[in-house]
Amino acid sequence: MAQEQQIVLEGIVENEITNLPMQSVHVVNLTKVIGTITDSNGKFEIEVALNDTLYFSYVGYKPLKISVNNDMIKYGNSKFQLTELAFALEEIILRPYELTGYLEIDIKNVPINPAGRYRISGLPNSGYEAGNRNRSAISKTIGALFNPADFLHNLFGKNPKQLRKLKKMRADNEIKNLLATKFDREVLVQLLGIEKYDLDEIMRNCNYSDTFIKESNDLQILEAISSCYEEYKIMQNSL
């Protein structure tokens, strides 16, 4: 009964080195798939139950994952500290295609990306690269339905719990706002309970290009998976 009791947990997030409160830290209950952010004093409130898992995320800081215990519930006002990360800038390649500077020549050397584009309602960008919709793409998706090892089939066909999480993620505005700012897939894999390479494999089986997988933010990946599932469901019903 204690594990099922729902309470509102109050807490404070601080910088581990300075002990100063941290504003706008995303706090996600991975178990219930709900989220919130800290205020100007580092304080937050979120609904929890015993043994729920909380996930703290802030740009430039190491994510923190903690299980809710009896002391947190009994005493409240728990303090959580995040550790700042050291950044290393990667080399930027400005001319990956060895362009000459002459438009007539360079336009022939730049590879053509055949993938389609789509737009997510509510996001400012005009469009995002998606999987192409040619005949081979449809055949690949249909073929995946008959492959018991296919990650898409395993995720949606054999694990309805993950599907329910997927729907909750799309319904929670704080989680969507968090995913729109992230590109590392950390929150997605934590929420879905899968590995990063499994997530990439799901996207490839849904016929999204490697460019889309690498360049999209986590919210775009979430919407792409959801769209892929809708197609999967339609095909399953038509078999």
- The span from the CA of 162 to the CA of 153, in Å, is 12
DSSP 8-state symbol, 172: -
Contact 38, 25 (CB under 8 A): yes
For 62-120, the pLDDT digits (tens) are 999 999 999 888 887 899 999 998 643 444 444 555 656 666 665 566 555 555 444 44
Q: What is the DSSP string of 48-92?
A: E-TT-EEEEE-TTB--EEEE--HHHHHH--EEEEEPBPPP-PPPP
CA 39, chain centre distance (Å) = 23
Contact 54, 78 (CB under 8 A): no
Go through the domains of the chain in sequence order and give each one's CATH number: 7-82 (2.60.40.1120), 110-238 (no CATH)
Spans in the chain with pLDDT lower than 50: 1-3, 87-94, 116-149
pTM of the model: 0.66
* Of 136, 10, 14, 128, the residue nearest 64 (C-alpha): 14
Return the pLDDT at 153: 58
Return the pLDDT at 68: 93
Return the pLDDT at 126: 44
